[in-house]
Amino acid sequence: MSGVRRFTFSTLVIWIVLLAGAVICVFPFFWMLVGTTLNPNDVLKGLVRPGDEFSSNWEKAVSNYNLGLFFWNSLKIALLTVVFGVAVNSLAAFGFEKYKSKARDQVFGILLLTLIIPQIALLIPTFRLFVFAQLLNTHLAIILPSVMSVFIIFFMRQNFSMFPTEIMEAARVDGASELATFLRIVSPSMKASFASAAIYIFLAQWNSYLWPLMTVLSEVKKTLPIAMATMTNAYTIEYGALMIIVCISVIPVLILFLTMQRQFVAGLLGSVK
């Protein structure tokens, strides 16, 4: 074919499909932003033209609905889970992969088996455990059960398996301790994998709903998803303020996605390729 582009019927269909898909995917985001500037009635009617109610909606979201506190709660919980989650799971993955023993391989097999258990089945006995420990309605209760993740251990183990063991042996010969090898030699060369794991843990916690719904009992402990859900099911709904909370919950993740797209997708799909 020459450099001239032929315009055919099938290219037209292809572009219509692509553009329609793109509009459907993007529109709710666009509309979410518009919604923050509308009064509650216009949000409900789905007006697409921006209004001028942003400051009063913002005012309501901050003063009536504690937006700042919910954001801080969500951020604190998600970041702490990331810090502990990355440390605990990557160390475990390192142990399973680079210090292979029959016993540890069997333990790893048991871990993998638990992946099939649906969340709800584990959460009810776990809830009883937290009742017993008198830790309900604390952020610790939200963080603790989410730190260990079999999926992240599995993911990190796959990535550690690509790290050449010879380099570790060279470090040993040079007198580095095992922990120093992990921290100074292996980890720095796997920044992308760590980033993917961190993003995955952050997202899972930032967006989690079911477990916080069980454990959060008071207004001041609420996270953004819990706040959104309660507002939506309230008798009278401040739609403008709700749209602001939705934006505050979505936009940080959006920025994370657009700036670290590769690690973001790799983390979600569970493989770095």
Widest Cα–Cα separation across the chain: 75
Tell me if 256 sits within 8 A of 199, measured CB to CB: yes
Q: List all residues 6 or more positions away from 108 whose beta carbon is below 8 Å from its beta carbon.
A: 96, 153, 157
Applying the rule CB under 8 A, the residues between 4 and 23 that interact with other proteins are 11, 14-15, 17-18, 21-22
Among the listed residues 95, 163, 241, 272, the single contact to other proteins using CB under 8 A = 95
- Smallest gap from residue 91 Cβ to other proteins (A): 5
User: Virtual CA dihedral for 31, 245, 65, 119, nearest 10 degrees?
Assistant: 130
Q: Which among 263, 118, 119, 122 is positioned nearest to 203, based on CA atoms?
A: 263
According to DSSP, residue 148 is labeled -
For residues 129 and 220, which CB has a smaller minimum distance to other proteins in the complex? 129
Among the listed residues 2, 8, 55, 114, the single contact to other proteins using CB under 8 A = 114
Confirm or reject binding of residue 209 to other proteins (CB under 8 A). yes
Query: CB under 8 A: which stretch of 52-60, 62-70, 93-101, 183-191 binds other proteins?
Result: 93-101
Q: Which amino acid is at 162?
A: M
Confirm or reject binding of residue 145 to other proteins (CB under 8 A). yes
Among the listed residues 176, 178, 192, 194, the single contact to other proteins using CB under 8 A = 178
Instruction: Give dist(CA 132, CA 136) in Å, integer.
Output: 9
- Smallest gap from residue 127 Cβ to other proteins (A): 8
Confirm or reject binding of residue 31 to other proteins (CB under 8 A). yes
Applying the rule CB under 8 A, the residues between 51 and 80 that interact with other proteins are none
Residue with tokens 């037209």: 12
Tell me if 151 sits within 8 A of 93, measured CB to CB: no
Confirm or reject binding of residue 259 to other proteins (CB under 8 A). no
For residues 55 and 114, which CB has a smaller minimum distance to other proteins in the complex? 114
Confirm or reject binding of residue 176 to other proteins (CB under 8 A). no
